[in-house]
Amino acid sequence: MVRFLRVMTALALCAAGGSSGQDAGLWPAPLPPVTAPATQPRLLDLKVSADPPPVPGVRVQVHGGALLGRVLDNGVRVWQGVPYAAPPTGERRWQPPQPPAPWTGLRAATAPGDVCPQPMSQMPGDGRSGLRGAEDCLFLNVYAPPLPNTGRAPRTPVMVWLHGGSFRSGAGSDYAAEVLAREQGVTVVTLNYRLGALGFLAAPALTDATGSSGNYGLMDQQEALRWVRRNVAAFGGDPRNVTVFGESAGAMSLCAQLASPLSRGLFARAILQSGPCTPQGITTPLSEALNTGSAYARALGCAPQDAACLRAVPAGRLLDVPVPGRRVPGAVDLPMVSGDRVLPRAPADVFAAGEGLRVPVLLGTNRDEGTLFVAPVAEAGQDLPLWQFWGVVALLERWDAPRALASYPAGGGTVGDTAASLVTDSLFACPASDLAADLARTAPVYTYEFRDPAPPLDLAPTASVPRYGASHASELVSVFGTRLAGLADPARFTAPQADLARSIRTYWANFARRGDPNGPGLAPWSPYDPENGRVMGLAPQATGEFAGFRQAHRCGLWDRLASR
């Protein structure tokens, strides 16, 4: 299978065999829901409550009906559990998203809807099992800034968040956006999309009249963006000024949206956080995906052409049965599919040809991405065994493993630190640099590296990774400014870290507002120029552009090895 997924699955396999028990903690707790009166119906019932007393700023009319949100203590207006598509259940399982059914009266939008079906466990080997969520999960949440005391509020920029989670876990409701909305004066939309087999299975039985199969999660994202275009003005947002931002699998999804002809006109700008676009491994060709889907159907007890049988399989069984060719149930087994109408070509090929959506892009990675993936691999209290490190290197298809090993000697630190550097460089930093060079030929691009050496993480150090540094996902607490359960808490920021976090949110919001992150009081940030390769370093008391990013991450080596 493609190398990106092979390497990350290899790390998961090692973790399954000897985990430290550490939860990756990528998916923070949702905003606590308001307790509803006993007479208020469940949100999923599409019933209505008796009209409550009018509350300024929380009642809106959207296509489909009226919504009642709530006002937080800081004045931010929030609507949660808003359906943007019909439940993808029954015959609608593995179909493109359909419009939601309209409702009459006033629909409560005061608590998140169900998350999409996913494993209870975030990481292999952490001792938790089971399923959370439900297939009726295509909901979004809207955070709008406080209304002004007087006068009419101008339309605000809109930022639509695509969550990460390896295409198998996470939810929009995991991210509370009230700080970003209030502080920066932007309207933020977070959303769910179908995950795992329900979101990305391609199979002969599911192939439509155009020959397409799979990518249902990508279609959900596009449908949510269409909903935003139709309805965000009701919340005070500007439908002509939409920026999509995402992290990890959310950023990889955004790679696909930038390459998809069906995304044209749905957003004006993109922010990609730690989501490599250019490795071929983020997608799989349709023909290969169909072969995998056929084998998976047989593993589920269905004929490859029997759609009715597949649609009758309980969601929990889809999570329990591993995809053939993979040995970790729920791992990144079903990547996005290239060669269908949603994604006719792999993003790497589209961007290398100077094609795709020509919109301004802000993108970057974290200096120590790999520590989060390597930390749970070794046995508790032990460094990463050399054989596991060598095994990961050997999985790098088309790359010269002996040469890679020579460039990453397992000495001068822990073996885990060395493995983490290899993962950071080969799968995040250098692909991001390559992507920036491709995209900068057709539109403005701004690049960054998050470099906080000691963010306030809730992750325990291990013998193999004694220091996480700027690990994968460690920038999220700065972007949102709220606690991310199991990952980090802004209450533990030092004063310089708090200043950095505010600067990051301001850079992001400025970019969403006008396609340029610069603004008063901020270190100047130049568009990316491949000739000098300067990148914005985001660090406490040390924010500024720097040279030598590619050299620090050995990108010349990875370019040569990948071209063999």
Active site residues: 248, 369, 472
Please name which of 253, 346, 385, 282 lies closest in space to residue 8, comparing C-alpha atoms. 282
- Find the helix or strand (DSSP H, E) in which 247 lies: strand 237-247
3-state secondary structure 140-169: EEEEECCCCCCCCCCCEEEEEEECCCCCCC
Q: Rounded CA gap, 500 and 502, in Å?
A: 5
Instruction: Calculate the alpha carbon distances from 489 to 28, 459, 476 in Å.
Output: 10, 11, 10
Q: Counting Cβ atoms within 10 Å, is residue 491 exposed (0-12), middle (13-18) or buried (19+)?
A: exposed
Answer for the pair 236, 226: CB distance below 8 angstroms, yes or no: no
Q: Rounded CA gap, 233 and 231, in Å?
A: 6
CB atoms within 10 A of CB 424: 26
Q: Counting Cβ atoms within 10 Å, is residue 224 exposed (0-12), middle (13-18) or buried (19+)?
A: buried
Q: Rounded CA gap, 509 and 242, in Å?
A: 11
What amino acid occupies position 180?
Answer: L
**Cα-based angle 275, 281, 286 (whole degrees, multiple of 5):** 120
Tokens of 181: 């909305």
Q: Counting Cβ atoms within 10 Å, is residue 215 exposed (0-12), middle (13-18) or buried (19+)?
A: buried
Q: What is the DSSP letter of 488?
A: B
Q: Rounded CA gap, 185 and 156, in Å?
A: 7
